Chains A and B, each alone.
Chain A
C-alpha cells in the first residue's frame, strides 16, 4: 500500500487538493441544483435575492470578525454592537427625534467607539481578546435596555419617565432596509457587496492587509519587522465595531422598530460564517471572500430546507453540521498522512 501511494502520490494529491480548494463552491452548486430540482420556485431571482438579503447582515458582521481574527484577535461583541445599534438608531429617531443622516452618523460613530474601547482594553490594558470582547458583549447587551427600561422602541411608546415619545422612524432611514436597486437587488445586498469588495481589497491587495495577517501569524515577527502592531490591532477592532453597527442599521431600517431581541443569533452566525470561510479555497485562515461565501452557503441551505418544509427548529442543527464539516475539511481531512 505504501509503495503504491509513493508511485501515484503526487498526481492524486494534486487532484485531491483541487477538490479541497473548491469543495464549498461545488457543494453550493450541488445544493442550488438540488433545491431547484426539488422545488422549482427556489431558483427564481426574487427568492435568490431574498436569500442574499437574509445573509447580508451576517456577512457584514462576519467580515468584521474575520478582520479581527486575521490580526490574531477575536471580536465576540459584534452581535451585541449590532443589537445596540438597532436600539440606538431607534432611540435617536423615536425619542431624540433625529433625522436619518444624523442617526446614521451617530450609530456608526458609536460602533467605531465601541471598537476603539475594545481595542484599548486589549492593547493598552492587556486583557486577552476573547475576554475583553466577551465582557463588552455582556456590557452592551445590558446597556441597550437601560434607556427604555427594557422595552422595545416604537413610535409613540411610553418612556420610563412616564411621557410619550414624540418622534418616529424617518422614512428616509427605511430606504436602506426596504428598497431595491433597479427594483430587483435589495439595498442591503448592495451594501454587503460594497463592504465585501472594499474589505477584500484591503485584506488581500494592500500592505495593510498583509500586516494584519502578519500580526495574526506571528506578532513578534511583525513587530521586529517594524510594524506598529498595537495600532493595527486597534484598527481591526474599530473596523469590526463600525461594520457591526452598519449591520445594526440595516436591521433597524428593515424592521422599523427597536426590537430588544434583534440580533440574538447574529454573533454565532457571523463567527460561523468566518470559520466556514476557512475552508473556502483551502486557505485555512480567515478571509473576506470565504466569510461572505460561508454566510451565503448557510443562507442557501436554510432557505432551501425551509422551502422543503423543514421545521424552523432544525436550523441551528443544520448550521452546526455545516460548521463541523467545514472545519473538518479545513483542519483535518486530507492533511498529509504520516
Chain B
C-alpha cells in the first residue's frame, strides 16, 4: 500500500520526458525508499497524509485520473502543475471540499473520508487558500480573526478584549508576524490577509498544512519570512503541501517536488530539484527563455515623469518610457509600485512633480479620463478589480473584454453582441485562451486564462500606455510565457509599465527593470539590456529593505 503510493508515479512514466527527469525521479525514489527503510522498517505508515488512486470527474472532464501523493511529517512537498492539471481538485479533495469518485485518503495511516472542510480541519488538515478574502471575517479585528476558529468551535463562553489581544499577540509572536492586531480585517491588504490565514492554520494545531499559492501576493521579504515560518513548522513535524507557480519558492522551500499533469503524477523530483526538467514535465514542452534587449532607446518618448514625489518626504525621481518599451518596476510590497501606477491611471495624485504623456501634460481625473486618453491599467487581484460574478450579464469573455469600451463601441447605447463576440473570439485565438467560445464565463477558466482575458480587454483598443499591476499573479508558467509573448508583441507604438514583486517575472518580461523602494525609483540600468546589473541592484535593494 505504502510502497504502491510511492512507486505509482514511476509506473505512470511517460516517454515524453527527458531522460534527465526520469533519472531524477529514480534518484528520488531510491532516496525515499532508503529513508523509509532506515526510518521505519516495520511500522505501518509514517505518512502524515497520503492519497492513492484518487479520481475525480466533472461531467465529461476528468480532473484527476488516479493521482497518488504522500507527505511525511516534517516534509515540505511542492505540488507543481500547469493550470487545469488538477492541482486545485487534488487540494480540494484532501481538504474535504470535494469528495473523490475513487481512491483513498489516509491520514496518519488511517483511511479517512471527509464530508466537509470542517471535518478535514478537525482531523488536522488546514488549508490556506489563494483567495485571501476568505482568510478571515470582515468586521472583526485581526486579533479576533486569529482566534476565530476557537470562537466558532468549543471556545470559552465569555471573552474579554484584553485576553483576545493577549492570546492573538502570542500567536503572532510565535510565528514572528508583525500584524496590526487592532485593525479591521476588511482594511487589510491581500498579503496581510494571507499571513492571517497561515497564522490561523497554525493556531488550529494542524498536522497537515496545505498552502495554495501562498506567495502570490507577498513581496520577496515577506516570502522569505514565510519560508522561515514554513521551515520552522516542518521542523516541528508538520507535513506541508506547497502549491506554487514560482520556481524560486519551490527551490527555496521544497524537499521534494511532485508534478501533476492531466490528472496524474507525471514526475517526482528530489532536492536539488531539476527545475527545467520539472517545468518540461509540467507543461509537456520546453519553455523558451525570454531574453529581450533594449533596442527602443531611439524611439520617441511616450511618458516622462519629472521630479516626482509619490508621498510627502519621499525622494523625488524621474522616469522616461519610450515607444515600444516594456519596463518592469520591482520592489517589496508597500514600496509604492502600485501607487505609481494608480497615479498614472488617475486614481490618486502625485505629491509633487509633473507627468507628460506624448509631450502634453498628463493629469487624469480618473479611470474614465485615463481610458479616453489611452492609458489603461490592469489592477492587481483580477477578481477584485476586473472581473464580474458569473450571473452578471457581461461576465462572459466577450462582455469582460467589452466593458471599458462600451461607450466607444456602442455610442448609440444599443449593444451589438455579435461585435463583442467577434472581439472575444479573436482574443481566444490570438492569446490561446482555453475556452469553448466567447460566451464562457470567467469562473469556468483557469487563472492563467482569466488573466489572458483581462489583458485582451486592454488590447482591444489603441493604447498609449499600458499599466500592469502584478499581471502574473496566480498564473502558471506556461500561461505566463503566453502572456509575456502577448505583452511584448503588442508593443509597437505604446509603452508598458509593469509592477511586480517577483524579480524572475520582471527579468522575463521587461526590457528594463527599475527598483522601487520607500516610494522612490532607483534606476537599475541604462536601457541597454544590462539585466545582470538590474538583478544586482534589485537584490541589493531587497537586502537593504529586509528587516
Which residues does A use to contact B, with CB under 8 Å? 2-3, 6, 9-10, 13, 204-211, 213-214, 216-218, 220-228, 283-285, 338
Q: How many residues of B contact A (CB 8 A)?
A: 36
Q: Contact between B393 and A209 (Cβ–Cβ < 8 Å)? A: yes
**Contact A207 to B406, CB < 8 A, known contacts A216-B392, A226-B368:** yes
Q: Contact between A224 and B367 (Cβ–Cβ < 8 Å)? A: yes
The 9 closest A-B pairs by CB, nearest first: A217-B392, A217-B388, A207-B406, A225-B404, A226-B368, A226-B371, A284-B391, A206-B413, A225-B403
A293 to B415, CA, bound (A): 24
Chain B residues positioned under 8 Å from A205 (CB to CB): 414-415
Binds A, one of B12-20, B278-286, B377-385: B377-385
Interface centre among A6, A204, A221, A227 (most CB of B within 10 A): A221
Q: Which of A9, A208, A217, A225 contacts B367 (CB 8 A)?
A: A225
Q: Contact between B371 and A213 (Cβ–Cβ < 8 Å)? A: no
A207 to B413, CA, bound (A): 5
Nearest CB of B to A179, in Å: 34
Assuming A217-B389, A218-B388, what are 19 further A-B pairs, CB within 8 angstroms? A2-B102, A3-B101, A205-B414, A206-B410, A207-B407, A211-B403, A213-B393, A216-B392, A217-B392, A218-B384, A222-B403, A223-B367, A224-B367, A224-B377, A225-B371, A226-B368, A226-B404, A285-B391, A285-B393
Which residues does B use to contact A, with CB under 8 Å? 57, 59-60, 97-99, 101-102, 345, 367-368, 370-372, 377, 379, 384-389, 391-395, 399, 403-404, 406-407, 410, 413-415
Q: How many A-B residue pairs have CB under 8 A?
A: 94
Nearest CB of B to A291, in Å: 15
Q: Contact between A227 and B368 (Cβ–Cβ < 8 Å)? A: yes
Nearest CB of B to A130, in Å: 16
Q: Contact between A207 and B367 (Cβ–Cβ < 8 Å)? A: no
Q: Contact between A338 and B57 (Cβ–Cβ < 8 Å)? A: no
Q: Contact between B59 and A10 (Cβ–Cβ < 8 Å)? A: yes
Q: Contact between A224 and B413 (Cβ–Cβ < 8 Å)? A: no
A59 to B384, CA, bound (A): 34
A217 to B385, CA, bound (A): 11
Q: Contact between A2 and B99 (Cβ–Cβ < 8 Å)? A: yes
Nearest CB of A to B75, in Å: 29
Interface centre among A10, A223, A225, A284 (most CB of B within 10 A): A225
A227 to B368, CA, bound (A): 6
Nearest CB of A to B156, in Å: 33
Chain A residues positioned under 8 Å from B403 (CB to CB): 210-211, 214, 221-222, 225, 227
CB nearest to B413 among chain A residues? A206
Q: Contact between A220 and B368 (Cβ–Cβ < 8 Å)? A: no
A143 to B394, CA, bound (A): 41
A206 to B384, CA, bound (A): 25
Q: Contact between A206 and B414 (Cβ–Cβ < 8 Å)? A: yes
Nearest CB of A to B94, in Å: 14
Q: Contact between A13 and B385 (Cβ–Cβ < 8 Å)? A: no
Nearest CB of A to B452, in Å: 17
Interface centre among B59, B393, B406, B415 (most CB of A within 10 A): B393
Q: Contact between A228 and B393 (Cβ–Cβ < 8 Å)? A: no
**Contact A226 to B98, CB < 8 A, known contacts A204-B393, A218-B388:** no
**Contact A224 to B394, CB < 8 A, known contacts A205-B415, A207-B407:** no
